[in-house]
Copies of this chain bind each other. A is one copy, B any other.
Amino acid sequence: MTQQAHSTGLTIAEVAERTGLTAHTLRYYERDGLMLEVGRNGAGHRAYTERDLGWITLITRLRATGMPIREIRRYAEMVRSGGGNEGARLDLLRAHRDRVRAQLEETAAHLDAIEFKVAYYAAAVGETDPDAELIAQQRRDAPAATG
């Protein structure tokens, strides 16, 4: 087979290609309850829809921002169970959003310290760091004297 399932949906290889996930991971997500009822074609092969693609994009974002598998599963269960629990979904997403906001700020602070360290070493090596002007002011910790 080369890819005949187009009228019925995308193959797992095509979805892997488009999402950047492996076929292994796509099957694992489904087994673990993260997906929304993926259909099968006549041969028993998975036939993904555009809606599935959108869902995979969403859960990939949630994973990439640190949401654990089991929480994505909880969310998927709510979506699969149909309407009526939008409030609960909203609570879950808001909690995650807050965590991501905090994580973003923390990472920005760490990045600042790392930039400072880079500028220190660039100066030590006698090289002018191309980004030196971005980090002109002093930072408190990550003391350069420690390595």
- State A135–B87 Cα separation when bound (angstroms): 20
- Is A100 interfacial (CB 8 A cutoff)? yes
Q: Are A86 and B142 in contact (CB under 8 A)?
A: no
Provide a sorted-by-A list of 25 A–B residue pairs whose CB atoms are within 8 angstroms.
Answer: A51-B146, A54-B143, A54-B145, A58-B117, A58-B142, A64-B106, A65-B107, A75-B147, A76-B147, A79-B147, A86-B124, A89-B147, A90-B118, A90-B122, A90-B125, A93-B114, A97-B111, A97-B114, A100-B114, A101-B111, A103-B107, A104-B104, A104-B107, A104-B111, A107-B107
Closest residue on chain B to residue A140 by CB atoms: B57
- Is A27 interfacial (CB 8 A cutoff)? no
- State A39–B124 Cα separation when bound (angstroms): 28
Q: Are A146 and B54 in contact (CB under 8 A)?
A: yes
Residues in B with CB closer than 8 Å to A64 are 106-107, 110
Q: How large is the interface on A (under 10, 10 to 19, 20 to 34, 35 or more residues)?
A: 35 or more
Given A87-B125, A90-B125, A121-B93, CB of A114 within 8 Å of CB of B65? yes
Q: Determine how close the nearest CB of chain B comes to the CB of A86; give it in whole angstroms.
A: 5
Q: Are B107 and A57 in contact (CB under 8 A)?
A: no
Residues in B with CB closer than 8 Å to A101 are 111
- State A64–B106 Cα separation when bound (angstroms): 9
- State A61–B113 Cα separation when bound (angstroms): 8
